[in-house]
Structure 1
Amino acid sequence: MPVLVAEFGVPSSRGLTHKNPYGMNQGFLSEKDQGQIDQHLFQSIVSEKYAGGLVFTWQDEWFKRTWNTMDFDDPERRPYWNNQQTNEQHFGLLGFEPGKKETAIIVDGAAEDWDIAAAKIGYHTEDKQKLKEVRFTSDSGYLYFLLKYNQPIDFKNDGTYLLLDTIGNQGQTTIPINQQVKINTDYGIDFLIKLQGPNNSRILVDSYYDTFYYQYGKLLKMIPEEPVASQKNNGVFNPIRLALNKQQTIPSTKEVIPFQAYETGVLQYGNANPASKNFNSLTDISMSSDKKIIEGRIPWQLLNVKDPSLKEIMGDVWKQGLSGSEEASGIRTAIVTTTQGSLEQTVPKTVNGQLQQKGSLVYTWNSWDQPPFYERLKTSYEIMKKTFGSVDAK
């Protein structure tokens, strides 16, 4: 009996849904990883003398949902933006890149594309301080930031921290930068991005605004209780996590498989330029060769954005639940730098020892109903093209 494998493949998404014991994970795979795993799967089909197999799938599908992210977005608006946290959207060999090709921001440590895109400068100084320029921009996939320095960054001694306020009337007002430095604000900080080098960079969320804990701790009781999580301005930031498996019992053996999750807020360093020999599609942060420029991109869902096309963000989850939302007026930002663990610079400058809402940087963007995008054949396409060409089809 001829057997055709109608679907085989893995996604090149940032978000991870399940881990596979053989490394064929459902997500958090680069395009190169995707191609090599798809190649292995097809070669297995050929070696077993099946009639053939069809790669799932030809192109990415932005309208798809995934069980561990579907409660954090707007189900009616999924086709309007690229959610890199949803693995089901990224099984394609043909990708749809957010933005317009001629003005796209490529996170590779170079700043020329920011000038071409006419991205506004949020902060600039002629002083000889460490940080001299800050820019923000966005598209249907990411919030981007560009940081320019006067001196090379040495992560053994230097740290840079981005403080983001996305929702009003909540957030932390005492920000633990490191063991030595705490920053006070007169407004709430919802997300803290720590840039401390390739092995220690991540984005953290105000525990009151932690949708993962609210769902799996408060509602489903699957993870340990955090007593202060329901209290505003409690002094705690949490890692950003995604569930991988809910606790389950195997009927035949009664073995209990425990709840499993992972920290999806860890930021990966690399080069996101497909034209580079060092291209890695999982890149979040990139540095220039002279270490004077840091570029970054943050997927919208890591900022509790439910639909960037309508500027829709998660509301107060403790009052409205996961279905609640509100329209974002913008993202208020501040930047802190340290050297040798001590405070070096703040943007804007502190007033009476405090970062104040007045004078802070505010990034806003326009809503859309037709997302700009352009097509790009992924690295996995080239791998599969060679694989198919090497098979004897007799």
Structure 2
Amino acid sequence: MNQAESKELENGAQIKFRTKKDQVEIYKDERWSPFFVKGVNLGASLPGHFPGELSIKKEDYLRWFEMIQEMGANTIRIYTILNPEFYQALVEYNQENVKNPLFFMQGVWSPVNLLHKTNDAWSPEVTKQFEKEISDAIGAVNGEITLPDQPGKASGKYTADASSYLVAWHIGTEWDPEMVENTNNQHSDDPVFQGDFFKSNKDASPFESWLAHLMNHTAKEEEKAGWQHPITFTNWITTDPLEHPDEPLVMEDLVSVDATNIQRINGEAGYFASFHAYPYYPDFLRYTDKYKDVKNDKGQMDTYKGYLRELKNYHREMPVMITEFGVPVSRGNAHIGPLGRDQGGHTEVEQGRHITDMLKHIYREGHAGAVIFTWQDEWFKKTWNTMAFENPDRRPFWYNALSVEMSYGLLGMYPNKHNDLKIDGKLEDWSTIDGSEIRTVSTPLADLKVTKDEGYVYISSRLPGDFNPKENTFYLGVDTLSGGIKNPDFLKGKMLDEGLETVVRLGNDNESEVLVAPSYDFHHRLYVHAPKSNQDNAIHSWKLAVSRKLEYPDAKVELPFEEVVVGHMERASLSNDSMAEWAVQGNVIEIKIPWALLGFSDPSSKQVVSYSPIKKGDIEMPTEKIDGIRFIPWIIDKSSKTVHGLKSESSLIAITDYPLYNWDDWQEVEYDEQVKESYYIVQDAFNDIE
């Protein structure tokens, strides 16, 4: 039985939410009240699974719903039809929380493959498939449909009626500007759309008329089911209706999709505009002085706040909702943003502070809601500046700390030893690990204890004497392939018989990082504009691209290639050890190294990026399966420059004498689910909003 209060209209349809002027309203206690959507997006996958596998269980949803509501959110947004378990769990949860239910927005996924194939939204096959998806979604929400098994899609018998908990329908995905422009060109002589529930005005483009048609279909079909809900379509800054003269990339300001060119002409539930709006993309947010008079609470020019203000003013009295915004927690970075709002490189606390800062701007600028991206980390995601280094078929099976898209969640999905091994220079927790998961690697310097999980290699050792980073530097050479650097300058004239791909250097904060051999550095091999070292023995920092070189005709102005260093190793301290990647106490040293910084494209199948040349036009680096890793540790005295711990009296060091660290391939993952520190910061901010 559906418990949520709703209002019955004259035609017999039920209504729970509606738009009025620039707000969303909720019917509660027999009256309409303003409803600011405090939301979080919910993905469809768990670690070890692609989203089409729909691996999330009913018990997961029930647990998450409680956590989400305790965070202060009132709404979940989902992107597509989920399995019946989601709707069953939501109804069950809300029947236990009748006075304070958790609401949701139902997304309808675009037929993106067909859109890409036809490049024409009005093509009959695209429109027909989209209409069916809308009808199926209405059936799923109302609990009145059985969907057959289809690869990558939800299926089953839907019996739970969640319609009274639905805030709105959210149609489509971020639109490809070339597809939008081609649709407009192909159908420039078509009449504007006029439907029973929605129409497009005389200024509407053919693409906007197509959206009006889809929303008309949605309203018509759900009225048959006895309901009216507000409707919106997905949009993003790239295809917003504003002009961005400072945007360097032509494609990012090529064409507009304008919600004000569409009107709802029948039904009380209404219609609103929705945008995905991040602070670091597109690039005009970095370069524009358009918002120079818009200041934040610190008196700084804030382009994100300025953009939100202009977007709200453009839509006049139409409600505008920001349905995606956020920043990720990650070692990697994918874009530079103003005021430190980069796409990555943040701690959990920094993530929380940036999100709540943006949330306050969205609320204060008069928007109708704010939906954070996202609830849970998603390991299957790809990032533009790391995807070339990964095996796309194996992405969900490991956690890449360099890939920002994996780490947007407020609920962390951590590799399974996240809570088991604390990097603090103490070894007691190593005794709690299953002994079969730990290998002892004997080296001339000391025995190394080595283990791993889905995200990192962990190493601990008792060194021959106390280690003082002010007086000594610890090095850990890493050999995975034939090749690499044999005579790095910090070996002081000693030569290796086999090259190293990477070296972990630990000492003072400014020198603690993972370094890469020039011949192996696939960042430099992939990007012709990346600066290269002229010294073969000058092993250097790991870097990631954050902006390609922009040139005419793709860009209005020429901008340089940009990169950031990502190999820094954070030492544990009393004030911040949750992010620590190495620690030393006396003669005990502990290290935690991300797989990606050792060159792995997929550790679950022991695949690494190889030395093979990149073929012209390739977007993926060549890879090679290895047997394991050789670790070669040594210490250098900073004052005397003496090298300690290498196995040789001569100047030639035989790396092949060092034992191989090996592990079994894995097909299933284990992970620790735990809210991030950002969760509690967001909780405070949500609770401050009425």
1:171 Cα deviation from its structure 2 partner: 1.6
Structure 1's 319 and 251: CA in aligned 2 closer, same or farther, altered over 3 A?
A: closer
1:139 aligns with 2:456: no
Kept in 1, the 8 Å contact 2:352–2:681? The answer is: yes
Q: What residue in structure 2 maps to residue 128 of structure 1?
A: none
1:238 Cα deviation from its structure 2 partner: 3.1
**Distance in 2 between the 1:249 and 1:208 partners?**
28
Q: What residue in structure 2 maps to residue 263 of structure 1?
A: 565
Deviations along 1:171-193, one digit per CA (max 9) or x if unpaired, are: 22223226xx2332222211122
Match of 2:467 among 132, 153, 158: 153
Deviations along 1:169-223, one digit per CA (max 9) or x if unpaired, are: x122223226xx2332222211122112212112221211110111112xxxx23
Q: What residue in structure 1 maps to residue 679 of structure 2?
A: 381
Kept in 2, the 8 Å contact 1:214–1:317? The answer is: no
Structure 1's 7 and 254: CA in aligned 2 closer, same or farther, altered over 3 A?
A: closer
Q: Bigger shift: 153-162 or 64-73? A: 153-162
Higher helix share: 2
Q: What residue in structure 1 maps to residue 589 of structure 2?
A: 294
**Distance in 2 between the 1:211 and 1:32 partners?**
32
**Distance in 2 between the 1:293 and 1:319 partners?**
42
Structure 1's 313 and 286: CA in aligned 2 closer, same or farther, altered over 3 A?
A: same
Kept in 2, the 8 Å contact 1:81–1:307? The answer is: yes
1:93 Cα deviation from its structure 2 partner: 0.4
**Distance in 1 between the 2:632 and 2:374 partners?**
41
Question: CA RMSD of the aligned region, Å?
Answer: 2.5
Structure 1's 6 and 346: CA in aligned 2 closer, same or farther, altered over 3 A?
A: same
Kept in 1, the 8 Å contact 2:524–2:531? The answer is: no
Q: What residue in structure 2 maps to residue 343 of structure 1?
A: 642
Structure 1's 36 and 79: CA in aligned 2 closer, same or farther, altered over 3 A?
A: same
1:214 aligns with 2:525: yes
Larger Rg: 2
Deviations along 1:106-131, one digit per CA (max 9) or x if unpaired, are: 22322122222132332388xxxxx6
1:114 aligns with 2:430: yes
1:56 Cα deviation from its structure 2 partner: 0.4
Structure 1's 358 and 69: CA in aligned 2 closer, same or farther, altered over 3 A?
A: closer
Corresponding residue pairs, total? 366
1:287 Cα deviation from its structure 2 partner: 2.9
**Distance in 2 between the 1:391 and 1:213 partners?**
47
Deviations along 1:244-303, one digit per CA (max 9) or x if unpaired, are: 1112259899543211111212222236xxxx862443x322233xx4322222211111
Match of 2:352 among 35, 53, 64: 35
- The letter of the residue matching 1:303 is L
- The letter of the residue matching 2:509 is P
Structure 1's 9 and 360: CA in aligned 2 closer, same or farther, altered over 3 A?
A: same
TM-score scaled by structure 2? 0.50
1:314 Cα deviation from its structure 2 partner: 1.1
**Distance in 2 between the 1:101 and 1:195 partners?**
21
Q: What residue in structure 2 maps to residue 231 of structure 1?
A: none
- The letter of the residue matching 1:373 is Y
Q: What residue in structure 1 maps to residue 662 of structure 2?
A: 364
Structure 1's 331 and 44: CA in aligned 2 closer, same or farther, altered over 3 A?
A: same
Kept in 2, the 8 Å contact 1:161–1:177? The answer is: no
Describe the SS at the equivalent of 1:177.
Answer: helix
Match of 1:284 among 570, 581, 586: 581
Q: What residue in structure 2 maps to residue 193 of structure 1?
A: 504
Describe the SS at the equivalent of 1:383.
Answer: helix
Structure 1's 279 and 387: CA in aligned 2 closer, same or farther, altered over 3 A?
A: farther
Deviations along 1:59-95, one digit per CA (max 9) or x if unpaired, are: 0010001111010000111111111100011000001
**Distance in 2 between the 1:226 and 1:29 partners?**
28
Describe the SS at the equivalent of 1:136.
Answer: strand
- The letter of the residue matching 1:158 is N
Structure 1's 260 and 254: CA in aligned 2 closer, same or farther, altered over 3 A?
A: same
More contact order relative to length (CA 8 Å, sep ≥ 6): 1
**Distance in 1 between the 2:532 and 2:366 partners?**
52
Kept in 2, the 8 Å contact 1:14–1:85? The answer is: yes
**Distance in 1 between the 2:463 and 2:649 partners?**
23
1:351 Cα deviation from its structure 2 partner: 4.8
Match of 1:92 among 384, 395, 409: 409
Kept in 1, the 8 Å contact 2:377–2:407? The answer is: yes
The 5-angstrom pairing of residues 170-181 of structure 1 reads: 170-177=483-490, 181=492
Kept in 2, the 8 Å contact 1:7–1:54? The answer is: yes
Kept in 2, the 8 Å contact 1:135–1:145? The answer is: yes
Structure 1's 57 and 365: CA in aligned 2 closer, same or farther, altered over 3 A?
A: same
Can you give the 5+ residue segments of structure 2 that lack an aligned partner in the other structure?
Answer: 1-317
Kept in 2, the 8 Å contact 1:177–1:183? The answer is: no
- The letter of the residue matching 1:343 is T
- The letter of the residue matching 1:107 is I
Kept in 1, the 8 Å contact 2:629–2:662? The answer is: yes
Q: What residue in structure 1 maps to residue 625 of structure 2?
A: 327
Describe the SS at the equivalent of 1:53.
Answer: strand
Describe the SS at the equivalent of 1:382.
Answer: helix
Kept in 1, the 8 Å contact 2:478–2:598? The answer is: no
**Distance in 1 between the 2:554 and 2:623 partners?**
43
Match of 1:162 among 476, 496, 506: 476
1:149 Cα deviation from its structure 2 partner: 3.0
- The letter of the residue matching 1:330 is G
1:224 Cα deviation from its structure 2 partner: 4.6
Can you give the 5+ residue segments of structure 1 that lack an aligned partner in the other structure?
Answer: 126-130, 229-233
Describe the SS at the equivalent of 1:204.
Answer: strand
**Distance in 1 between the 2:641 and 2:364 partners?**
60
**Distance in 1 between the 2:381 and 2:335 partners?**
16
Higher strand share: 1
Match of 1:315 among 610, 618, 632: 610
The 5-angstrom pairing of residues 60-99 of structure 1 reads: 60-99=377-416
**Distance in 1 between the 2:568 and 2:640 partners?**
21
Structure 1's 22 and 359: CA in aligned 2 closer, same or farther, altered over 3 A?
A: same
Kept in 2, the 8 Å contact 1:157–1:341? The answer is: no
Structure 1's 101 and 336: CA in aligned 2 closer, same or farther, altered over 3 A?
A: closer
Q: What residue in structure 2 maps to residue 3 of structure 1?
A: 320
**Distance in 2 between the 1:55 and 1:38 partners?**
8
